[in-house]
Amino acid sequence: MAPAPAARPSIGVHVGPGLTDENELDDGGPLARAAEMDADGVQVFLADPQGWTAPKPRPDADALREGDVAVVVHAPYVLNVATTNNRIRIPSRKLLATHAEAAAAVGALGLVVHGGHVLAKDDPAAGVDNWRKTFARQAETGGFAVPLWIENTAGGGNAMARDLDAIARLWEAVGEFGAGFVLDTCHAWAAGWDLATAVDDVRAITGRIDLVHLNNSRDPAGSSRDRHAPLAGGEIPTELLVEVARAAGGPVVLETPGDAAAHAEEVAALRAALSA
């Protein structure tokens, strides 16, 4: 038997929603952007990332769901299901479920959501328990419509998913519900992780990495700052980023700054580095 060819690593790019104000496709939308960049996947927001609006049905939902471009949805940044503030936590839970349904409508592999945080005066254990309740309550009605993938964050005290020991406490609560994990290299660097061992360190806790957000950083290690940089244009050695993607062995999404031409170059360079 001939040896199976090595699977082509799926390299996606975060793109704009690609819709006009009238909710019509703008310049071909995300699928046109993927073609332009020769990307295997796209990550999109389905509503304002800084707001509380629910996603609208998309005119390209069928094309996204039925096409061969992998789709990942990122939940709005404002969501915080960990917080002890009811006026944030309760709408966060509702909107998270709504986004998961909208993500299913476009055939998303998963819904990325930040780990969130509690207030400085709070015990982080309360945030962990709020995460557990988020999954437990949703499980009563059949669970989320797509897998929920929790992303590590760059900074902030009392964050649920900044440090590895915090992630370990979170996973004791959410692991049983099938929570997935997104490793963001810029955020891990900002939090002072050793990227040479990050994939193994995370897997030892979660048993899984569902997606890598492969981003360089404009700031030094341990800065707690979340300023993404191009793969070959930041403080993290590019070879180290390639090794993270190789070690994780699964889909990658670039959230790097730059236009479509710059992203096309990054996709091609990363694809070449991973197949070398």
* Alpha-helical regions (H) of 52-163: 61-66, 86-105, 124-140
Nearer to Zn ion by Cβ, of 60 and 231: the residue is 231
Residue 263 engages Zn ion in binding (rule: CB under 5 A): no
Nearer to Zn ion by Cβ, of 149 and 171: the residue is 149
β 41-44/70-74 pair status: parallel
What's the min distance (Å) between Cβ of 231 and Zn ion?
14
Stretch that binds Zn ion, among 62-70, 76-84, 206-214, 243-251 (CB under 5 A): 206-214
Stretch that binds Zn ion, among 36-44, 91-99, 155-163, 205-213 (CB under 5 A): 205-213
Residue 226 engages Zn ion in binding (rule: CB under 5 A): no
Residue 201 engages Zn ion in binding (rule: CB under 5 A): no
Six-digit token pair at 224?
């707690």
Residue 74 engages Zn ion in binding (rule: CB under 5 A): no
What's the min distance (Å) between Cβ of 52 and Zn ion?
20
Nearer to Zn ion by Cβ, of 63 and 164: the residue is 164
Nearer to Zn ion by Cβ, of 9 and 60: the residue is 9
Task: Give the closest residue to 203 by CA, choosing from 149, 161, 247, 173.
Answer: 247
Distance CA(60)–CA(107), nearest Å, equals 11
Among 184, 201, 210, 226, indicate the residue that binds Zn ion (CB under 5 A): 184
Yes or no: say if 55 and 95 are a contact pair by the CB < 8 Å rule: no
How many angstroms separate the Cα of 25 from the Cα of each of 20, 34, 98, 201, 225? 6, 14, 22, 41, 34
Yes or no: say if 61 and 105 are a contact pair by the CB < 8 Å rule: yes
Residue 219 engages Zn ion in binding (rule: CB under 5 A): no
Among 58, 114, 117, 213, indicate the residue that binds Zn ion (CB under 5 A): 213
Q: Could you give the 3-state DSSP secondary structure of residue 183?
A: strand
Nearer to Zn ion by Cβ, of 60 and 116: the residue is 116
Distance CA(66)–CA(84), nearest Å, equals 40
Residues contributing to the site for Zn ion (CB under 5 A): 184, 213
